[in-house]
Structure formats: structure tokens, C-alpha cells
Structure 1
């Protein structure tokens, strides 16, 4: 039933002949369907969605109806309407106590009685206020003024990327890459705050009028990564169909930063080709293409595009998350290389997961493993290997659709049934309920819990097999399995005896004492210790595996490594610790590591405070020999304390004692991460292609 406001709005529209009567009736019917689905939405919002009226016309009608005063927020003077979002109207306003112009988002009054929508609105405000980056619209203030929920944010004098594309048709490659690079820098900041945007699209990318600085905006769908397992629970879809990732359209799909990277890839595709890759009349048909259709080449639309830009887009938009850029930093590497006329480095590389500073150091380890989809070299059982297989198929069964599902079908004008195409079961319509005006809508519990979803590993040759949906059986988390395996192996390791000659040949002696590791830090007391001159090599680790029957790192593929003098990588903290015990050594503490790397001299790097490009292997995209770059070694002869590979330490990152500290940066990171004081962390049960280790030694007392 339309509200009195909607009926008044309708009458003005008819009086002014702004919309044909039959079109207006269609919108009222759609409004009723939203209401039946439990979604309050004003008539003006439906008309704007269908582009039947303009924002200026909406503002003018509200002025005629004298509805503007109800949007009064104490402390702000509203100046003009900027636009409408999924949850409210955005105004240009002036903050009375400072005179500062702000963008003031005010929740629709008919949403204010819905606790879920109020929670989402305030969540966006909270997330935005904790961000502080030049490429992200900054949140300033939020609250409740006389039962009016508001959110004040940085006012950007400029235009959206959507408007820019519309005006130009296409954007040149170099300019498009510069825009995407800025957007990726902003997204990296969001990633570092343990957030996912979930609605990256040209509408939500602003360019300033003055110098076209890019700013990500509208965090209305943002979510903490620690909740990522719940993001696509049955009945929930978050995002805008043309720019959504495959996992956002699959029930139970795990959403992480790679989903945002996919959406950014579609945005880049749109910029350089002038078109979005997948077209369709309904959200269902578009999402089905994201899940199963081949990615069209942007070069087929714009023949002038380079192979480099096409390769970058292809990797950003890979169907499988593990085939995409694994974090924003990976993408930044290739975008910078493009701008420097260099071919992309990472289009054929996969890095399983961002580090802890790029997630959240308090995040549950088991959830992290699932979100990051990382694997381990401590061999899990066969069932676990199948469950983490990259060749998975999604199955869903829907016996019948309940009330809200039926109403959404009316909105989309499409009855949807599970169907197969190319051996893959496509998305059932029930998971699409919630793709509404760019916002996500969560089913009421009885609908959400109606269907159980299960992801089954797809085996070769089973394209025609009917997948059976069964209730999930709670299994022992992989992290606990690996910890158990580690504890079982540890007592079986026989440590080697080290002679003084061996120590002098392969390690460097560090005297004990009171050390000040930072300018403002308190002195730290450390005993004497030795540390490896080099990172542990493939050759060293091969000997360990041969003697102890320890599993090889994944990328060795069961064979002896060909490059024995490269640092061993793709090893978990458990692997590194077991090796150190076998070698008669241990892993260094964070303080010991930092002491060796240059902090004792007050230096950011082993050679001083100014970074020198030929002294360290950073931001190159390729791992180097353990004895390479001798100019960058420490004064006492320790190699690669800056760059090459991150190194495990024995220290925990936080009091939560979840993640272990990693130090030194890597070939995939910048010089900043390679500085001696920089600390990061990673899940001890996981591995990456740019994490290795070196050992320390202390004489037994």
C-alpha cells in the first residue's frame, strides 16, 4: 500500500505530466512488490531507478510538498540535493560550527522504523569514519537528530566515473589505468582496515573537479572480513548485478577483497571498451553470465587495446578467486608496470592471501583460512583436499519459493529454476533476492534458513553428474588439523648437533645486552644469539624433507626443486619451526630479527635510512638467489634483511596469539614494508609464495 507521501508525490507527477500514467502505475505495482518483500522504498526511488524522472525533479516536488523541513539535522544547513542512494537522500550541506561543506546523507523516513536498515546505515557511517585516505571519501560525523538518522561525509566537488564514461564513451588506456590505480590504492586502505566494499562500480567512484583525484564512496554494503563467511548466506546478495563477482551471485559464496578486485576489473573493462562485459534484461541473467559465461575480450569491442591491458583485465575478472590478483598490492604492481611501459608480472602468478595488516590481526584463524582460500604443505586428508579443490561446483535445491521470493520474481519478471549449462548448475533465483536498488536485503530468518546449501568438489569427467544437496556436516577446522599434525611430528624430529665451525660458517654472532630498537622505545634486554647469514634455501629444505619425510612445498609438485639456491617459500610457520628444530636451531624473535636488520644503528634499512634500489629485492615480482645483492647485506654480513621474501619469526603479532609476525617485506612489496621497524603477520597454518624464513641459535644453558 503506497504511503501518503507516495500518493502526494504521484499526484504532483500526474499533474505536471512528468511520467505517462501507465508507466506510473507500473512503478506503483513495483512499489507494492517491494513492500510485500519487506523492503520500504519511496516512489521517487523507483522512478529514479527507471530513469523516468531526474533528481532535480524529485527535489522540486519535495519542495512543493514542503517535505524538506523534516530532514532538518541539528548543526547542519541543507543547501541542495545531490542524489539518492539505496537507504537515503544525499544533500550538500554546511556544517554550522565550522562552515565546512559536507555531503549529508539522511535516511529515508520510512526506513527509520526498520532496525536492520538503521543498523546498515549506521554501519556505513561508522566504517567510513574510520577510514583516512586520499582516495576514499572521508566520513566526518553521524548520529540521530530528532529521530532523523544522518551521516556527514567529505563533500567532493566533482563527478562520478559513470558520468565521465557516459560523456567520453571510452577512456584511453593510460588514463583508465591511472584512475583504476588510484581506486586500487583507496581499496587497499579499505582492505587494510579489514573491510570489503562489495559495491565497486562507476557510480561509486568520484573524480574531483580540480585535479580528477579518484575517491571511492558509498560504503553502504561494506562488511568486516571477519564476517565474510556470512556474506552470501542463503537469501542474501550484495552488490550491483553488472559489476558483481561470481561468488556474490552464488549461495554460500565466500566474499573477500578479491570480489572487489573483480568488480574493479569490470569497471576497467567498461572504461576502455565503452561497454560492460555482460548484458541482460534481468539481474538473474546477468549474474548467471558472471558465474558461467566466458569472459569476452575487451579487444573484440575496442581493437586498439593493448595485450597488457587485456591481460590485466582478464586476471582481475578470473572466474575463480584463486586465479585473480590476490590482494590490492598485487594489482598495484602490475598497474604501475603498465604505466612504466613494462609487461605485467603477476598475470600468471597467484598469491594466496594478504598479510594480517591487510586483514585484521584479531581475525579467527579458521575463518581466515576459508576467506583467503590458502592451502598448506602439512598434508591434510583426502576429504579436506577435495573440499579445498579449485575445481568446485555449486549445487542448490529449492523445493518451493516462499512469499518474498515470489515477490522478487515479480519485480524481475522472471521465474527462475536451477539449470545446467556446460556441466555447471547455474544460480537459482532465490539467491538473487536482495539485488534491490544497489542494496542488499537480508531475508527474514524462516526464509533464509529454508534451504541448505553445500559446495561439492567437482571431479574430472563428472560434468553430467547430478549433484545432491545435503546438510552441512561440521568438520574439524583445517587449522586445528594442521596444529595436531604439527604436534604429532614435533617429538619425532631428531635435532642436529652444531659445531662452532658450522655456526661461524653459516651464521652471524650477535652479542647480548640492552638494546633500544626504536627512537622512542624502551631498552630491550636480549641474550647473545646467532642468526643465519642467508634465508633457508630450497636445497636446505630439500635435505630436511628427505631425512624426515616431511611434505614438500606445494609448488615443488612432488619433485626435487631445480633452483636449489632460491629461498624456500610456500612453507607454513609450522613447517619453518619443524625445520629449525631439525637443524638444531630455532626461529628468531621479532626483536632479534629487528636488531640484526638495522634498528641498533637507528636505521630503516641495513645500510642506512635512505632506500637504494640495487640493494634489495623489493617490488620486482621475482624472487632472488639467497646470496644475491651483496651491497644490501648488514654490517655483519647478513643477506636480504630487506625484501626478497617475508620471514617467519617466533613472535605473535598481538596478545590474541593468533598470527605470527613476519618481517622484511618481499619481492611483491614496496621498500616501506621492507624497513626494519615494519611488522606484519600471517596465519601460522598457511603459506604464500613470498614467505620464507631464516633460523637463529642460542647456546643451551
Structure 2
């Protein structure tokens, strides 16, 4: 998109007198992610820029001004609200920098009438790309890879924070280590999971729980459980799960027990399907409970997880 619409920052420019911008490694409706260089620490980083397409524009052709210009009307209010949410994403991520399964934040700053999050650079590809390229992942390997994600999400939920956008698109895999890293906390919100307070809706086809489609759906740790188990279903089968909202009308999702060459125990297959129960009240309620059912062990603490 940046080639046809020159809104992306050109390579080799400096940000905050410290970071050198490189090529674009990700682009969406609300932001652009660049590979970059931290010249102070001499390390490669990822730099995420807040840039919502609907509210503003920038043309870098023949210019030295890289500011984003906001469209007239209510766009300014919406833009500033998104900017505040972008800051919230950075603060949420910074709380969990020590967790293996979460991308770490190194810096945050305002510039060019927008803001930037500087994160550790993960040398890998999305889980979706990996499965599309290499096929379904064997059961034991998938379970081993998922442990760090489950551990991280338990810690996040303990802090009363929901991710709300778990999917193969938002998990990176370090190819050499076969390690998974959960990214993109743009939809994460602080919330007491014991209340019925409604939240902004976030959709990801095949991975969003049914309560997230409902305006006043009661979201909680069980919502992230659904998305994580749907992601595991994709890992194991190479197939996108049916949308939960469609399953409410007629459930056509093929259970893992009916799919050949899924090298898991009956209990493990049932655990994943239990985590994908359509109704929240029928579903596994926590990452603690999910771990117990998946790995047939007592519910874990961080000191005893193996």
C-alpha cells in the first residue's frame, strides 16, 4: 500500500534522535510497523506508528514534514481517542515485558502529530503464515509451543486485562526456536472479569467468541480461552474454524475427534473443543483450567509450570 499511497515514512530517516527507520514489516487500518535500528543500544527493533487511515493522511513525496494531518469534522476527536488507546496499548505491554510469550516494549514517544511504540524485533513470521506454508503442526509440538502463551495469558488475566484479539495473525513464531510470541494488544482492555460491564467489540473471523459479537456480551478470560483454542484448532488442522456467530445458528465445526491424523489423546482433543464451546457458560473459564485439561496436570502457578 505504501508504494501506491506514499504515507509510510521513508527509510533511513531518524525518529527521536535515536531510531533509524527501515522497511515496512506490517501495515493495517490503524497503524504501520517498521523494522528499525536503535542507534543508542545498537540493536534491531520494531517501531509501530499510530496512523488510522480513516481519520488522517500524510504525503511524504518531496517533503521533510512527516506529520499526520487530521481530516476536518469529528475525525479529530476520534483520532485523539485512538491515540489515547495507542498509549494504553504501550502501557499494557510494558507491564508484561518479562513474560516469554509477550512482545516487549522498549520505548514510547510522541512525534509527527502521532505516537510510536518501540518493541523488541521478533525475527519470524505469523503463525498463520507458518501453517499456510508448512501445513498443520503435530500435536505434541503444538502443545509444547503453546505453553508460554497460556502462561503469559494467565498472568495477564490475573492483572484483570483481556487481550480480546488472539488469532494466528497476532502470534509470531521464531522459526529457529519454534517459540510463539503474542503481539498486538491494541484491543486489550482493563476489566474486572467478574462484572458485566460491556466492552468495545473486536472481530476476527473464526476466532472471536460469540459474546464479543453481542453489544452487552459479558466478556472475560473465557473469551480469550475461545480464541486461543480456535487458534490451536487451526494449528492442528490447517483449517480456519467456523465463526462462532454462525455456529450459534447451526454448528458445522468438525470436532477434532472426527479428523484423522490429529496425534493427541482423546482428553486433549476434548479439552480444545471444550474451550471452543459456543456459549460462554459451557466453556472452559480460565487459562488455569485450560492448562489442567490440556496437559492433564494440576492447575499451575508460575513457579511450578513445566
State the TM-score, normalizing by the size of structure 2. 0.81
Matches within 5 A, 1:260-409: 260-278=224-242, 286-294=243-251, 295-302=253-260, 304-306=262-264, 307-337=266-296
Q: Are residues 1:107 and 2:64 paired? A: no
Match for residue 614 of structure 1? Answer: none
Corresponding residue SS for 1:183: helix
| TM-aligned CA distance change 1:128 to 1:304, over 3 Å | closer
Mapped partners of 1:229, 1:239: distance in 2: 19
Q: More helix by proportion, 1 or 2?
A: 1
Matches within 5 A, 1:4-153: 44=1, 58=2, 60-61=3-4, 68=10, 73-74=15-16, 75-108=18-51, 110-111=55-56, 113=76, 114-132=79-97, 133-153=99-119
Corresponding residue SS for 2:240: coil
| TM-aligned CA distance change 1:198 to 1:152, over 3 Å | same
Mapped partners of 2:8, 2:262: distance in 1: 53
Corresponding residue SS for 2:192: helix
| TM-aligned CA distance change 1:166 to 1:671, over 3 Å | closer
Mapped partners of 1:185, 1:61: distance in 2: 42
Mapped partners of 1:309, 1:168: distance in 2: 23
Q: Are residues 1:254 and 2:211 paired? A: no
Matches within 5 A, 1:648-687: 668-670=299-301, 672=303
Mapped partners of 1:304, 1:214: distance in 2: 21
Matches within 5 A, 1:152-163: 152-163=118-129
C-alpha deviation, 1:292, in angstroms: 3.8
**Unaligned regions of 5+ residues in structure 1, if any?**
1-43, 45-57, 279-285, 338-344, 346-618, 620-667, 674-701
Corresponding residue SS for 2:48: strand
Match for residue 64 of structure 2? Answer: none
Mapped partners of 2:114, 2:262: distance in 1: 51
Q: Deviations over 1:27-46 (max 9, x none)?
A: xxxxxxxxxxxxxxxxx3xx
Larger radius of gyration: 1
- Give the aligned CA root-mean-square deviation in angstroms: 2.6
Is the CA contact (8 Å cut-off) linking 1:272 and 1:302 kept in structure 2? no
Q: More strand by proportion, 1 or 2?
A: 2
Matches within 5 A, 1:141-540: 141-226=107-192, 229-232=196-199, 236-278=200-242, 286-294=243-251, 295-302=253-260, 304-306=262-264, 307-337=266-296
C-alpha deviation, 1:287, in angstroms: 4.8
Mapped partners of 1:143, 1:229: distance in 2: 34
C-alpha deviation, 1:321, in angstroms: 2.2
C-alpha deviation, 1:149, in angstroms: 1.1
Is the CA contact (8 Å cut-off) linking 1:181 and 1:335 kept in structure 2? no
Figure out how many residues of one structure are paired with residues of the other and give that number: 277
C-alpha deviation, 1:86, in angstroms: 3.7
Is the CA contact (8 Å cut-off) linking 1:180 and 1:264 kept in structure 2? no
State the TM-score, normalizing by the size of structure 1. 0.37
C-alpha deviation, 1:290, in angstroms: 4.1
Mapped partners of 1:86, 1:669: distance in 2: 38
| TM-aligned CA distance change 1:289 to 1:207, over 3 Å | same
C-alpha deviation, 1:241, in angstroms: 2.4
**RCO higher in 1 or 2 (8 Å CA, sep ≥ 6)?**
2
Is the CA contact (8 Å cut-off) linking 2:103 and 2:182 kept in structure 1? yes
| TM-aligned CA distance change 1:116 to 1:291, over 3 Å | farther
Q: Deviations over 1:421-458 (max 9, x none)?
A: xxxxxxxxxxxxxxxxxxxxxxxxxxxxxxxxxxxxxx
Mapped partners of 1:66, 1:169: distance in 2: 33
Q: Deviations over 1:66-107 (max 9, x none)?
A: 852798521210111111134100001112221222110011
